[in-house]
Chain A
């Protein structure tokens, strides 16, 4: 750091420093050296010949004008390194002090920093049994600028997937799905959801109001171009009438302001309900959430067990929306390493969760149920979604993976294994469960 030598710094000559050379890195301990390297107004005042150290240091203390960047550097990274000793999340497992030191002062093009990525993981230590991700992206570039941290987190969360060496396959050709029709005595409803981000606009933790409104505009304009079984309408969250609100609640379509500290600590609920809304088709089986946890969440669903049709509509709808936004010069965030880019690293790849609400009164109580699900690469949730308990004997079963296998593969796993699971339920069937 070059330190200017003010011409009339009486009482402030360099010789009054205890041995520090002109080019030595400034540390916080020496207010006089801060004066020398500080902002021009401070240096000017010194050059006007203020008598005495006292006055000058008094000036420093009352008038220190330090830029944000300078201020950060005054604290070494070790002073800012979070205390993660009681934490159990992927970020805490991966973030070493040395890594923090290398990444702390970097920012993405829209000034998103590492501290902002990890804030949610610092504020939410997690649970001994449930390992959350503990970090979010503020934009597409986060995954590059902070890849030193994101990559191990992705590996941890996605079963060893290494973004440095592996490629993610995308396959939205629904015609390739075999079977996929389930016994409706057991399968009550089928659903496929994913998310999509609009390239060029910051993600929900980082977006400004204008960007968020732009996302809404881009998506709603595109959706208004959908036709046939996909034609529908948009409901802006801030302008819902009482009756519309009730209707959306009855249909289980309405999403509310996030209360989970995992989301609020990441800044995703800012400015609620500005530019948030719900779009659905007239048939009420294709639904899009705008500006909730991602730019868009796309959901295809229907009652009963026709997963094939649900997946077909899902793929068709997604492709049409993509075409419509491309016509206006926009595109989805996607790359070969990570597939579709979403806010939470856990949703990279396909971002897809395909699932059913299924009645498994006997199987769900079987001691081997957990192992069966694990082997089939499926997960269970309660019928209220993530972190809820099952009601009655009905469980929500969905795919575990997101990254490393294509949409089609997920759907297929579900389809094939759903029928396996059904067979198992029948006590007369022989099935080796070891």
Chain B
């Protein structure tokens, strides 16, 4: 990454123990896995684009983590990071993705027709539905490592692809650095605008460099399909709408992505993907589908039920506040989404959300009537 010491090869003149980071107070996946021996084995390796071990782990060294929240503690700088540093990343991936093995194969299924139901979530409870994922463009390094030239070319290619879309996908691109005040206001009101990362998890990995150069937001005229360019990944693709028609959201998601991918492929820049890891993204936690499909749902009674967390666990779902990751819930409204990313397909994961939320809404209704829900508690999926 173009800052810090990571190309400083003087460090190789020192013994491993003199360079090995002090991880004694750390609680993240990287700190759990990285031993002195492993560090010694990998420390003089580089990916073809020059990304080193120290680059991969810097964010985890700088952010010791929290006793209750286990962060990943490392990032990839390019596609090859996942192979050159597999001795470090495979165990982390396994830890983070439920025991996924180094020789496992990931299933990709972006055919929305395979989703069962999902168009009938009760809008009295389900306020909005959303599916997001990320995509990386082959031939470029990732946000922690890329140069200004690369980032700008990624933006150029993305804008060309997006502005060629039509029909329900006809839209407009707003580059962050030349946005008017009025446009900015509008994007904030629509909850579309993303800002310069302040989280040290991201800034220590070099992802906020040169802000806002090469960054922007594209959305369709209907405001139901949105793409972030060059934030934490090359592309973050979001499909959303008010109400509970997750099926429609997923349809638009799959259709839009397929169109975009086709255009990129024509320019000889497909998406980064492998049989083992699925879609390749900056953070190992987003490998596989990189998909987070979720709803904002009113569950004031269920959320205070002693078994709420267990129910979520069994349904393979996770809860967040309505501000997104690391926020609290407001007024009993939760953001409920799939917990898995790697090892199951897009359809599988959205299916889990659809089925799980449907069940939880039923439970909520039962609790409203003062009835028990014990018989409804599902088996572990």
Contacts and interface: CB of A to CB of B under 8 A. Distances in A.
A79 B7 contact: no
A367 interface: no
Interface in B1-48: 2-5, 7-11, 14-15, 18-22, 46, 48
Nearest to A207: B5
Interface in A324-347: none
Interface stretch (A64-72, A150-158, A305-313): A64-72
A266 to B, nearest CB: 7
A206 interface: yes
B8 A271 contact: no
Contacts, number: 125
Contacts of B268: 31, 57, 61
Contact of A206 (B4, B58, B269): B4
Interface in A77-126: 79-83, 107, 110-113, 115-116, 119, 122-123
A238 interface: yes
A83 B62 CA distance: 29
Classify chain B: how many residues form its interface, as a range. 35 or more
Contacts of B61: 270-271
B258 interface: no
B9 A110 contact: yes
A391 interface: no
A75 B149 contact: yes
A207 B18 CA distance: 13
B208 interface: yes
B2 A67 contact: no
Contacts of A214: 14, 18
B270 A61 contact: yes
Chain B CB count within 10 A is highest, among A81, A210, A266, A270, for A210
Nearest to A58: B268
A368 B89 CA distance: 63
Classify chain A: how many residues form its interface, as a range. 35 or more
B147 to A, nearest CB: 5
B8 A82 contact: no
Contacts of B204: 270
A116 B270 CA distance: 31
B62 A80 contact: no
A61 B2 contact: no
B50 interface: yes
A214 B19 CA distance: 10
B138 interface: yes
B150 A206 contact: no
Contacts of A25: none
B8 A67 contact: no
A238 to B, nearest CB: 7
Interface in B262-292: 268-270
A122 B8 contact: no
Contacts of A213: 18
Interface in A201-222: 202, 205-211, 213-214
B150 A75 contact: yes
A270 B50 CA distance: 19
B312 to A, nearest CB: 35
B5 A202 contact: yes
B170 interface: no
11 contacts: A64-B139, A75-B153, A79-B153, A110-B8, A119-B2, A210-B11, A211-B5, A214-B14, A265-B209, A266-B3, A274-B21
Given A72-B147, A271-B22, 5 more contacts: A80-B148, A82-B210, A113-B2, A206-B4, A270-B5
